[in-house]
Amino acid sequence: MNRPTTRGRWPLAALLLILALIAGACGGDDDEPTVGANAEPPATKPTFPQGTAMAALQTKGKLTVGTKFDQPLFGLKNPVTNKVEGFDVEIAKIVAQAIFGGTLAEAESKIEFVETVSANREPFIQEGKVDMVVATYTINNARKERVDFAGPYYIAGQDILVKSGDTSIKSVTDLNGKKVCSVTGSTSINNVKEKAPQSDISTSFGTYSLCVEALADGRVQAVTTDDIILLGFIADNPGKYQLVKAPFTTENYGIGMKRGDDAFRTFINDTLEKSYGNGAWKKAFEDTVGKSGQQAPQPPKVDRYTAGAAAGSSTTTTSTTVR
């Protein structure tokens, strides 16, 4: 009988588990900013009028950007390099370059990325924890009452994932009579129910990866949710799946910032438009989302809305309509 030795290992296993937990907890604090305020100014350093946010950021030498750390292709923290990678990151780099000058790589060294999840983006902006948020951040009127948006810099939407070579589904209405999978209780399912009432939505799982497994096994003919999530699956399984490319909802991704700083917003909108013109936007797309086999689309038109107008739709927010 070797019972006693088996029992003797348990405290060791428990100790290892505790150590692992401690190591995991400490790991999160490693990404402190290492940027010195007196970094060598590049030759092409732009100048801004005193008192603008751009001038203040330049003096500070650091741009704090909220982004997602868990969104493949857009903002994903690489566990090996500890760097955040994706299209949102590239957009932030383009903005940082416009503020600090120099190369994109130099601009990246001036950015401090802070993880923002969907629920904390507005509070982080309002409390000044971040200078801006580039985090698959959909522009909508409710949010416009709390923060301002530059952009959009990308238009996402709910799309359909099918097996490669499947041409029977060309739009959402083709889902009628077909088996479609999405995550249990998601808004994606409700959208399909609305647009294709005859589709069979009885198959649903807790995660999208199981839906994709069901698609691979032929249990369903399509998986539907936001295209950026679907693109991640295409990138992970090259050649197996394709996007129908007929989005039936519209999500305009914008850059969120503190309300009321129109000069800063105009500056970022100008920067975005410049990047559309000089190919920087296209390169940012091809280096990130494009790796999933997507061609770079036409960049979206920047929406220079008047900040008061959005809040004006709801007459109760008097403090913001004064301007």
Partner 1 sequence: MAACRVSPVPPLQWFGATYVELFRNAPLSVLMLLFVFGLTKAGVGPYSFFASAIVVLSIYTSAFLAETFRAGINTVAAGQAEAARAIGLTFPQTLGIVVFPQALRTVVGPIGNLFIALIKNSSIASVISVLELSKRSNLLIDQQGVSPIPVFLGAAVAYLILTLPSGFLVGYVERKVSIKR
| Interface ranges with partner 1 (CB under 8 A) | 181, 184-185, 189-190, 202-206, 210, 213-214, 216-219
In the chain the beta strands, taken as DSSP E runs, fall at: 63-67, 70-71, 75-77, 84-85, 111-115, 132-133, 148-156, 158-163, 179-183, 200-205, 222-226, 241-243, 251-257
Closer by beta carbon to partner 1, 203 or else 242:
203
Least distance between partner 1 and beta carbon 179 (Å)? 11
3-state secondary structure 207-222: CHHHHHHHHHCCCCCE
The torsion angles phi and psi of 265, rounded to 5 degrees, stand at: -65, -45
Least distance between partner 1 and beta carbon 209 (Å)? 10
The residue whose two tokens read 């704090």 is: 64
Closer by beta carbon to partner 1, 129 or else 179:
179
| Alpha-carbon gap, residue 228 to 226, rounded angstroms | 6
SS3 70: strand
| Alpha-carbon gap, residue 196 to 272, rounded angstroms | 36
Closer by beta carbon to partner 1, 67 or else 158:
158
Q: Name the H helices within 40-113.
A: 53-60, 87-100, 104-109
Cβ neighbours of 25 (radius 10 Å) = 9
Least distance between partner 1 and beta carbon 190 (Å)? 7
Least distance between partner 1 and beta carbon 160 (Å)? 19
Closer by beta carbon to partner 1, 146 or else 163:
163
Closer by beta carbon to partner 1, 71 or else 182:
182
Least distance between partner 1 and beta carbon 193 (Å)? 8
Burial call 148-177: b when 16+ CB within 10 Å, e when fewer: bbbbbbbbbbbbbbbeeeeeebeebebbee
Closer by beta carbon to partner 1, 118 or else 209:
209
